[in-house]
Amino acid sequence: MKKVVNHIVAGLVSALALAPGAAGAMPFGVPKAPPSAIVQVAGDCRAIGQQKAAEYGGVLADVRIEQRSGRAVCVGVVIVSGKNGERGQRIPFEEPL
């Protein structure tokens, strides 16, 4: 039984290796963007978030890059502490990159 399975597997591997259509259609990899470009945009978004936090006198709680209508947008949230025991305020922001 083991020999039969080995022969079937060997036959399938050989057929796939020799099939010109299947071999030509297989992708070998996805091109990647240069890492420096990705890091630069992420760094810019974080800097924008920290600038917004300083503007509002709060703390940057969340920041991320989103794609909206094909454009990169920096989206985040700043938390401003409440006064006299009041609850803090959550201020969302969006800034195009």
pLDDT at 63: 95
60 found inside a domain = yes
8 found inside a domain = no
pLDDT at 44: 87
Which domain, by its residues, includes 61? 34-96
48 found inside a domain = yes
pLDDT at 8: 65
CB 76 within 8 A of CB 92: yes
Q: How many domains does the chain have?
A: 1
66 found inside a domain = yes
Closest C-alpha to 77, from 48, 43, 39: 48
pLDDT in tens, the chain (97 residues): 566 556 565 665 565 555 555 555 556 666 666 655 555 666 789 999 999 999 999 999 999 999 999 899 999 999 999 888 889 899 999 999 8
pLDDT at 77: 97
CB 43 within 8 A of CB 63: no
Rounded to 5 degrees, φ, ψ at 90 are -100, 120
Residue 52's Cβ-count burial label (10 Å; 0-12, 13-18, 19+) is buried
76 found inside a domain = yes
What's the longest Cα–Cα distance across the chain? Answer: 81
